[in-house]
Amino acid sequence: MKTWTGTGVSEGIVSGPLWIYLPARYEVPRRAGCDPEAEWQRVLSALEKVKTNIAALRERAGQSVGEAEAAIFDAHRMFLEDPELLEDIQRRLQEEGINAEAAVQDAGQNFAQMMLALEDAYFRERAQDVQDVIQQVIRALLGLDQSGQSPLQPAIILAEELTPSDTIQFERSVILGLVTMRGGPTSHAAILARSLGVPAVVSVPFEWADLHSGQPAILDGNRGTLTVDPDPNTLAKAEQSGAVYRARQKALLESAQAPTVTRDGLRVEVVANIGSVEDAVQAVRYGAEGVGLFRTEFLYMGQNALLSEEQQIAAYREVFHILSPRPVVVRTLDIGGDKDIPYLGLQREQNPFLGWRGIRMISERPDLISGQFRALLQAGVDVDLRIMIPMVSSLQEITQARELFEQTRIELMKQGLPCAEQVQFGIMVEVPSIALVAEHAAKLVDFFSIGTNDLTQYTLAVDRGNERVASLASPFHPAVLQLIARTVRAAHSAGKWCGLCGEMAGDPLAAPFLLGIGLDEFSASPALIPALKETLRKLDASQCRPIAEACLTLSSPEEVQERLRKIAG
Ligand code: PEP
Ligand code: MG
């Protein structure tokens, strides 16, 4: 028996035989003195072949795993049509007189390198997509078969890494789980596994010499481990926990689409935190009734320049379309000194969390915020759109942001462009100062959403990114609880609603307190939603009120947690 630990990127525990996936390898021939025009024609016809193949794979993916994964093939097609890549291939043919295969390989490598040099992990992982389509073009040029292989019976698939065109060849019903030596949480193995609901572990430092197809194995996506040749005892335990996990997930998922009503009949809204198109798909799958926090940072990271207005509109539309007709709270850019976006010219700061962050950029870069308002208002026609401002610490910032929002709206209408009507305007309450003047702030907004991740860090003076002080960062600290309760009360007194989108919302232990203070909306990571809904359904809101009051009188996070654990039983 041998166990390796990697990163669990999709939950679940399975046992079964390993099946090792080895993509076919071949030598790319290299010749000089070729006719550039004839070679270019070969490239064009290979590109056509690959595009046809991609279209077929896309259709198959759309039917078997859904649009999220199918969209990857749209990206593949876009790479094949990228003018920079095509020009580079043509230039190499003309200047170097090399054959089509060699020019495609060199230009493809160059393109992938460019993506690898980007800051954002998501875009670095897309470099693998470029390599994948380039391999397909070379195979087409070499006249090699494009179709692949798949295990014949259910197996845990193990590979060095998996590209979308590798994974699409696998018959879905035989995938028990996925293990790769490379990749991160946004790798295709992870995306595929999550959409299929099977476990996946990536970045596993296994040795090929220790493994062979057919070998019995256990894959634990919760712990992030791969065990081969398990002893009977370990195997029996894994099978039992796997069965318990699957039964629980199945039951939770079955009731996930139903509304959340507490035992005493109170309807509670449970929505999702998302940061990408894939998250939006997951949110719907896990029963989110909407989105309580759409982090828009991903639109700004990993590129060399700001997206054009059209590109922004298209990106928002894609997410809105997936979630339609659910309400979506979109948070404007929350980027600051701690995240480096070269084209924004951010300065290094000694205390980035206390620095030029979120709405604080409104005086120097109002264009960034109004640009986002413009795109959102145009993309959000017919959407239950709510816009939210991060990092607010004063009333003046709210007034300034609202003015800019109204100006943007008027400008769009003057230009005769589409413009969403009835958009709610809210703020994140994540800085103690704004929580303490919440009564005043509530008059200036339509809603609040409490960001307990930052509210905890700022209230307790604990850097949320510093491992050494992590144990001090508890949202159960009565000081944080007082601010949360005060914010909800202030919203309600002004007739406004209040949500909570920090990690605390997804913690079942916090549910009785949050329900007890009358929180209107819980916004959590999509995968946590089914269990959260179940927890809330078991609670009685009227019984939670005195419990919440009691928590507010306690003096330490430990006392609060202990009090809440008693209710959880
Ligand atoms: C928060 O601060 O609680 C929050 C939800 O925002 P973020 O984690 O993006 O700072
Ligand atoms: Mg925050």
Place of tokens 């079942």: 508
3-state secondary structure 317-345: HHHHHHHCCCCEEEECCCCCCCCCCHHHC
Q: Which segment of 108-117, 227-236, 466-475, 531-540 scores lowest on mean pLDDT?
A: 466-475
| Annotated active-site residue in 498, 501, 544, 551 | 501
Cα–ligand 2 centroid distance for 96 (angstroms): 52
pLDDT at residue 223 greater than cutoff 80: yes
pLDDT band at 539 (very low <50, low <70, confident <90, very high): very high
CA of 8 to the centre of ligand 2 (A): 25
**Domain shared by 173 and 278, yes or no:** no
In a domain, 110, yes or no: yes
Distance CA 39, CA 153 (A): 42
Whether 528 shows a pLDDT value over 80: the answer reads yes
Q: Are residues 346 and 486 in the same domain?
A: yes
Whether residue 81 lies inside any domain: the answer is yes
C-beta 293 within 6 A of ligand 1: yes
Task: Report whether the peptide linkage leading into residue 164 is cis, meaning its omega lies within 30 degrees of zero.
Answer: no
Q: What is the pLDDT of residue 340?
A: 60
- Does any domain span residue 30? no
Q: Are 64 and 138 within one domain?
A: yes
Question: Residue with the nearest Cα to atom 6 of ligand 1?
Answer: 451
pLDDT at 309: 94
Q: Do 410 and 459 meet the contact criterion of CB atoms below 8 Å apart?
A: no
Q: How far is CA 155 from the centre of its chain?
A: 27
**Token pair for residue 245?**
């996990």
Whether residue 194 is found in the same domain as residue 306? no
Q: Are residues 315 and 447 in the same domain?
A: yes
Ligand 1 pocket test, pick from 334, 429, 454 with the greatest ligand atom count within 8 Å of Cβ, gives: 454
From CA 6, how far away is CA 230, in angstroms rounded? 17
Tell me how far the alpha carbon of residue 502 lies from the centroid of ligand 2, in angstroms: 8
Do 243 and 281 fall within a single domain? no
pLDDT for the residue numbered 459: 98
Q: At 336, list the tokens.
A: 């600051």
Expressed as residue numbers, the domain containing 232 is 2-23+148-252
Of 91, 112, 142, the one marking the end of a domain is 142
Tell me how far apart the alpha carbons of residues 466 and 323 are, in angstroms, rounded to a whole number.
35
502: Cβ below 6 Å to ligand 1? Answer: yes
User: Which contacts qualify for 412-416: CB closer than 8 Å, 24 or more apart?
Assistant: 412/374, 412/377, 412/378
* Nearest CA owner, ligand 1 atom 3: 451
Final residue of a domain: which of 119, 142, 165?
A: 142
Ligand 1 mean position, distance from CA 450 (Å):
9
Report the first-to-last Cα separation within the chain, whole angstroms.
38
In 3-state terms, what secondary structure has residue 268? strand
Mean per-residue pLDDT over the chain, rounded: 89
Ligand 1 atom nearest 453 alpha carbon = 3
Do 191 and 178 touch, CB atoms closer than 8 A? no
The set of long-range contacts for 39-42, using a CB threshold of 8 Å and a minimum separation of 24, is 39/93, 39/98, 39/99, 39/100, 39/103, 40/89, 40/90, 40/93, 40/100, 42/100, 42/141
In this prediction, residue 66 carries a pLDDT of: 65
Report pLDDT for 366.
94
123-137, 139-153, 461-475, 493-507: range with highest mean pLDDT: 493-507
Kindly state whether residues 136 and 156 are assigned to the same domain: no
452 CB under 6 A from ligand 1?
A: yes
Contacts of 44 (CB under 8 A, 6+ apart): none
Tens digits of residue pLDDT in 274-330: 988 878 988 999 999 999 999 998 787 656 678 899 999 999 999 999 999 999 999
Tens digits of residue pLDDT in 492-527 = 999 999 999 998 998 899 999 999 999 999 999 888
Is 18:158 a contact under the CB 8 Å cutoff? yes
Q: Answer for the pair 360, 428: CB distance below 8 angstroms, yes or no.
A: no
For residue 293, give the ligand 1 atom closest to its CA.
Answer: 5
Residue nearest to atom 9 of ligand 1 (CA): 295
Ligand at minimal distance from the CA of 452 is: 1
Distant-in-sequence, close-in-space partners of 132: CB < 8 Å, separation ≥ 6: 76, 163, 164, 165, 166
Judged against a pLDDT cut of 80, whether residue 214 lies above it is answered with yes
Query: By alpha-carbon position, which residue is closest to atom 4 of ligand 1?
Result: 451
Q: Which residues contact 276 (CB under 8 A, 6 or more apart)?
A: 122, 298
Q: Does residue 304 share a domain with residue 245?
A: no
Is the pLDDT assigned to residue 146 strictly greater than 60? no
Q: Are residues 442 and 531 in the same domain?
A: yes
Q: How many domains does the chain have?
A: 3
Q: Among 42-51, 134-143, 187-196, 528-537, which is the least confidently predicted range?
A: 187-196
Both 153 and 97 in one domain: the answer is no
Q: How far, in Å, is the centroid of ligand 2 from the Cα of 311?
A: 25
CB-CB contact of 476 with 503 (8 Å): no
**Would residue 501 show up in a list of annotated catalytic residues for this protein?**
yes
In this structure, which residues have their CB less than 5 angstroms from ion ligand 2? 430, 451, 454
